[in-house]
Structure 1
Amino acid sequence: MRITLLALVSLAALAASPARADLHITRDHGGYVEEYKAKYGRIRDRHERVIIDGICNSACTLVFGIVPLNKICVTPRASLGFHEAYYDKAFTFGIKVTSADGTSDLMSYYPDTVKDWIRRNGGLTTEMKKITNGEELWKIVDPCPDEW
Structure 2
Amino acid sequence: MQRVVKACILSAALLLSAPAAAEIRIIQSPGGQVGPFLELFDKVRKTGERVVIDGPCLSACTLVLSIVPGERICVTKRAVLGFHAARSVDRRGRFYAEPEASDAVLAAYPGPVRDWISRHGGLTSRLLVLKGRDLAAIYPRCR
Same fold by TM-score greater than 0.5: yes
Q: How many residues align?
A: 124
Structure 1 residues 104-115: aligned runs within 5 Å: 104-115=103-114
Q: Flag structure 1 segments of 5+ consecutive residues without an equivalent.
A: 1-18
- 2:130 corresponds to which residue? 131
Larger strand percent: 2
Structure 1 residues 36-115: aligned runs within 5 Å: 36-87=37-88, 89=89, 91-115=90-114
- 2:116 corresponds to which residue? 117
Q: Displacement of 1:94 after TM fit?
A: 2.1
Answer whether contact 1:56 1:79 (CA < 8 A) is retained: yes
- 2:27 corresponds to which residue? 26
Secondary structure of the structure 1 residue equivalent to 2:93: coil
Amino acid at match of 1:22: E
Residues 30-74 of structure 1 show CA distances to partners (whole Å, capped at 9, x for unaligned) of: 111122111111111110111111000001111111101111110
Separation in structure 2 between the aligned mates of residue 20 and residue 41 of structure 1, nearest angstrom: 19
Answer whether contact 1:113 1:139 (CA < 8 A) is retained: no
- 1:7 corresponds to which residue? none
Larger RCO (alpha carbons 8 Å, 6+ apart): 1
Relative to the length of structure 1, the TM-score reads: 0.79
Answer whether contact 1:74 1:142 (CA < 8 A) is retained: yes
Relative to the length of structure 2, the TM-score reads: 0.81
Q: Flag structure 2 segments of 5+ consecutive residues without an equivalent.
A: 1-19
Secondary structure of the structure 2 residue equivalent to 1:131: strand
CA RMSD of aligned residues (A): 1.4
Secondary structure of the structure 2 residue equivalent to 1:119: helix
Separation in structure 1 between the aligned mates of residue 115 and residue 74 of structure 2, nearest angstrom: 19
Larger helix percent: 1
**Based on CA coordinates, which of the two structures has the bigger radius of gyration?**
1
Separation in structure 1 between the aligned mates of residue 24 and residue 123 of structure 2, nearest angstrom: 26
Moved over 2 A (4+): none
